[in-house]
Amino acid sequence: MGFIKEFKEFAMKGNVMDMAVGVIIGGAFGKIVSSLVDDVLMPAIGMLTGNVDFTGLALKIGEGEGAAVLKYGTFIQNVIDFLIIALCIFLMIKAMNKITKKKEEEPAPAEPSNEEKLLGEIRDLLKNK
């Protein structure tokens, strides 16, 4: 019975729940970034590079049925996609950090010193007399 109780405590800790939420939101965010790359950036990059498609590049090793095909073009395309996605995520996180930093930098109202409090009390007493 101790094992089940220990597992329950582990599963209900805040870190595990936060991680689960992060994975779910990360999956949804991944779809947004993939759409940005596939539907917005890649067509523009394709126009700039003359619609170069690396996925067709391959190297055939051997002959007959036992021949191996190294699809290095697909690998190159996936590396390029990764770099674009990583750049997009970096820029989004950088923008979010900048916004968050501005909110944190807002100065909190300064608490009056003991002297100022005492002077305020004296002022209030003089007003009441």
Rounded mean pLDDT, 42-54: 77
Q: pTM of this prediction?
A: 0.49
b/e burial code for range 95-122 (CB count within 10 A of at least 16 → b): eeeeeeeeeeeeeeeeeeeeeeeeeeee
79-101 pLDDT, tens digit per residue, is: 877 887 788 778 888 988 888 88
Higher pLDDT, 61 or 81: 61
Q: Is the pLDDT of residue 114 over 80?
A: yes
